[in-house]
């Protein structure tokens, strides 16, 4: 289902961003930990299971919400960022898993400097620091220049405001490398393979109990990237569950009818969507933990549900119904 421009403009403020700088994919990545030996010479490696930093290059195709863009952002901290929601009770069918959310409870409040990550367990929020001058090779600016030196502002690395990045900024399968000179954190190198912008070819996506959801896209170069799918049809009313899939970049995936039925039974809110991401990830380990370089291209597509009418104001609803807080007409 393709939303009209007026509705897209209305709901753009409601669409939830992908949380955090690090993308949490189901399963592994194409280059995960492949670059550990290229990390800080002479430094004691930290825990590879603790994600403390991420450099993300996002290649976003044009849509009804805006023109095609390329962005890059990076941040490194002295510890992992607390996750305040646990996704539990996994039910797996093929490459996809349904989970439901659980919010831990801490009898003693954690305060403003920490978060409750497990029952009666607090984890302190980390502090971001710099790793010296950071240079990115394999990414092209709109004027054709390369490499790119990132600007550090408030301990966040970004492209300088005067530098517009090309779209796409690289050719598929080319090498992209991040080199940090070292400062508070020691010097390190990261690399990953470039991806092609994601093109979704499936249309008029509809969720029906007992029926699978077939997704198709233009497949990428063999062995380069993975595909991540996130289907959360209740997030505007407080998520009651989600389906996540990690699969090969083969051009097609069907989410099983059994999982779709279970997700629908958990509840639905207004403007349900499926988010599909092509990505590659390379990583290394520094004393505080793992740092990743992720190259990604994401498309968010509307899905329809029988009997659901989405809304942002009363005029979107049929006579006799009102727009609810979860953006549904009832």
Residue range 271-304, pLDDT digits in tens: 999 999 999 999 999 999 999 999 999 999 999 9
**Cα(304)–Cα(319) distance, rounded to whole angstroms?**
21
pTM of the model: 0.85
Give the pLDDT confidence of 233-268 residue by residue, as tens digits.
998 888 999 999 999 999 999 999 999 999 999 999
pLDDT at 64: 85
Give the list of residues 6+ apart from residue 148 with CB closer than 8 angstroms, or none: 72, 135, 136, 137, 139, 141, 159, 163, 165
The domain segmentation of the chain, as residue ranges, is: 5-316
* Measured CA distances, 242 to 49, 81, 84, 229 (Å): 24, 21, 16, 10
Residue 228, strand partner residues: 246, 277
The region of weakest confidence among 35-49, 135-149, 273-287 is 35-49
**Cα(135)–Cα(149) distance, rounded to whole angstroms?**
4
How does residue 45 score in pLDDT terms, banded at 50, 70 and 90?
Answer: confident
Give the pLDDT confidence of 196-228 residue by residue, as tens digits.
999 999 999 999 999 999 999 999 999 899 999
């Amino acid at each position: 289902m393709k939303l009209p421009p007026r509705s897209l403009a209305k709901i753009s403020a409601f669409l939830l961003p992908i949380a955090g700088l690090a993308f949490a994919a189901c399963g592994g990545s194409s280059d995960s930990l492949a670059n550990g030996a290229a990390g800080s010479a002479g430094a004691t490696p930290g825990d590879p299971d603790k994600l403390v930093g991420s450099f993300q290059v996002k290649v976003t195709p044009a849509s009804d919400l805006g023109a095609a863009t390329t962005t890059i952002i990076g941040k490194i901290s002295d510890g992992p960022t607390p996750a305040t929601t646990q996704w539990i009770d996994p039910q797996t069918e093929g490459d996809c898993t349904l989970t439901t959310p659980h919010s831990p409870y801490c009898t003693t409040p954690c305060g403003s400097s920490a978060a409750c990550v497990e029952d009666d367990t607090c984890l302190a929020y980390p502090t971001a620091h710099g790793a010296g001058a950071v240079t990115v090779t394999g990414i092209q600016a709109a004027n054709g220049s390369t490499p790119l030196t990132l600007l550090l502002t408030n301990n966040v690395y970004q492209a300088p405001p005067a530098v517009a990045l090309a779209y796409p900024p690289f050719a598929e399968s080319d090498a992209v490398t991040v080199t940090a000179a070292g400062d508070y954190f020691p010097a390190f190198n990261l690399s990953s393979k470039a991806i092609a912008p994601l093109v979704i070819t499936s249309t008029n996506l509809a969720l029906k109990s007992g029926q699978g959801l077939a997704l198709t896209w233009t497949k990428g170069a063999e062995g380069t990237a993975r595909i991540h799918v996130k289907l959360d049809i209740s997030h505007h009313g407080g998520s009651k569950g989600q389906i996540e899939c990690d699969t090969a970049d083969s051009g097609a995936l069907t989410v099983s009818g059994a999982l779709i039925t279970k997700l629908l039974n958990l509840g639905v809110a207004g403007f349900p969507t499926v988010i599909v991401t092509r990505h590659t990830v390379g990583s290394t380990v520094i004393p505080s933990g793992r740092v990743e370089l992720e190259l990604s291209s994401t498309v968010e597509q509307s899905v329809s549900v029988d009997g659901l009418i989405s809304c942002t104001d009363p005029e979107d609803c049929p006579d006799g119904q009102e727009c609810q807080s979860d953006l549904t007409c009832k």
